[in-house]
Structure formats: C-alpha cells, structure tokens
C-alpha cells in the first residue's frame, strides 16, 4: 500500500519543526539573558531573589572568575543565598559562610515570614530587624524595638541581650 504525501503536509511538518527550533533557541537565549541579568543586578529584593535562587552565580563560579563583585549583588553557596554588602574579590580562604565574613556577605532568609506564626530560623550573621520573630533552639524570639542587629552575631539565647525578647 502506497502512502500519498501531499506537498502541503510536508510543508506543514517542516514549518512546525522550524517553529519548534526557533522557540527552543529563543528559550535558551532567554535563559542566558535572565542569568546574565541576575549575575549583574544590584536592585533585586530578597523576596525576588528567593523566588529564583538558581539564577544567581554560585560561589564556585565567582571564585573561578576571580573578579571584584560590587555591593548588592547576590550569590549562592550550598543553596544559601548571600547579598554582597561591600565590594569584594572572592578568595577561597574567605567563603560567605566563613568566620569574619559578615562585613562582606549577609545570608538571605529562605521562605519564612518572620511572624510569630512563621518565625525565621536564626542564622549566624543574618540581618535581624526590630519587630521580626526568629526561632532558635526550640524557642521563638522577637527583636526588640530599636534593636536592629545588622549583622547579628549574638544568638537569641545570649544572656543579657536586651535586643532579644523570648516570646515562647
């Protein structure tokens, strides 16, 4: 049994393949453009960054590049996002989560509202803002009015810290 191909069917198949190839190329180009934007942007908010964590350069990438990173850029290390708070040229001996690096890299909280119902798990060096709730060692704490700690290097259960108020 012979199959009769119509010229317009072959043309339609070719056009469909060409359209799919153009869409694929455009998708690839869009991904590259978005990643390039995220790699150089300094105006992305923490909330926006948390919605697209895989688009930021990794610690390994910025370390390999060996170039200065300007203030307010965002990088990722081990799934944790960090905001650059002053220009830095990354060094292997000074990772974002390393001791003494809070003047350069600040961790960005991942997915918590900072309310009594949804406190932010406290991370050494994060910016802690008055009125916001944090969880630590099974308890909930609130930062007292006027008690902003940026960066915060004192765990919430530190004795004598008026900035931390034990809530529950």
Q: Is the pLDDT of residue 113 over 90?
A: no
Exposed, middle or buried, 10 (CB in 10 Å: 0-12/13-18/19+)?
Answer: exposed
Same domain, 83 and 139: no
Number of domains in the chain: 2
**Domain boundary pick from 62, 91, 108:** 108
Q: What CATH code is carried by the domain that includes residue 123?
A: 2.10.10
Using DSSP bridges, classify how beta strands 120-121 and 74-77 pair: parallel, antiparallel or unpaired.
Answer: unpaired
11-32 residue pLDDT tens: 888 888 888 888 887 788 888 7
Residue 165: beta bridge partners? 142
Give the containing element (helix H, strand E) for 134: strand 133-136
Same domain, 66 and 116: no
pTM score of the predicted model: 0.65
Whether 53 contacts 76, CB under 8 Å? yes
Residue 63 preceded by cis peptide, ω within 30? no
Same domain, 99 and 115: no
30-68 residue pLDDT tens: 887 877 777 778 888 888 998 889 999 999 999 999 999
57: containing domain: 9-108
Q: Confirm whether 167 is domain-assigned.
A: yes
Dist. CA 22–CA 17, nearest whole Å: 9
Same domain, 24 and 98: yes
Same domain, 130 and 154: yes
- Give every CB contact of residue 57 below 8 A, 6+ residues apart in sequence: 38, 39, 65, 75, 76
Mean pLDDT calculated for residue range 129-134: 96
Same domain, 29 and 90: yes
Same domain, 145 and 104: no
Same domain, 118 and 79: no
Same domain, 99 and 140: no
pLDDT of res. 1: 52
Q: Confirm whether 2 is domain-assigned.
A: no
Same domain, 81 and 95: yes
Task: Report which listed range, 5-14, 101-110, 120-129, 139-148, is most confident.
Answer: 139-148
What DSSP character marks residue 69? B
73-108 residue pLDDT tens: 999 999 999 999 999 999 999 999 888 898 899 988
Same domain, 158 and 138: yes
Averaged confidence pLDDT in the chain: 89
């Amino acid at each position: 049994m012979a199959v009769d191909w119509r010229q317009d069917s072959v043309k339609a198949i070719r056009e469909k393949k060409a359209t799919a190839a153009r869409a694929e190329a455009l998708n690839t180009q869009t991904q590259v453009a978005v990643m390039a934007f995220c790699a150089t942007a300094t105006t992305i908010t923490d909330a926006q960054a948390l919605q697209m964590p895989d688009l930021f350069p990794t610690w390994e990438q910025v370390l390999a590049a060996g170039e200065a990173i300007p203030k307010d850029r965002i990088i990722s290390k081990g799934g944790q996002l960090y905001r650059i708070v002053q220009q830095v040229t990354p060094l292997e001996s000074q990772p974002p989560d390393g001791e003494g690096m809070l003047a350069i890299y600040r961790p960005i909280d991942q997915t918590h509202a900072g309310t009594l119902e949804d406190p932010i798990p406290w991370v050494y060096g994060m910016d802690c803002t008055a009125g916001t709730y944090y969880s630590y060692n099974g308890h909930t704490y609130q930062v007292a009015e006027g008690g902003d700690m940026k960066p915060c290097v004192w765990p919430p259960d530190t004795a004598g810290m008026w900035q931390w108020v034990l809530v529950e």
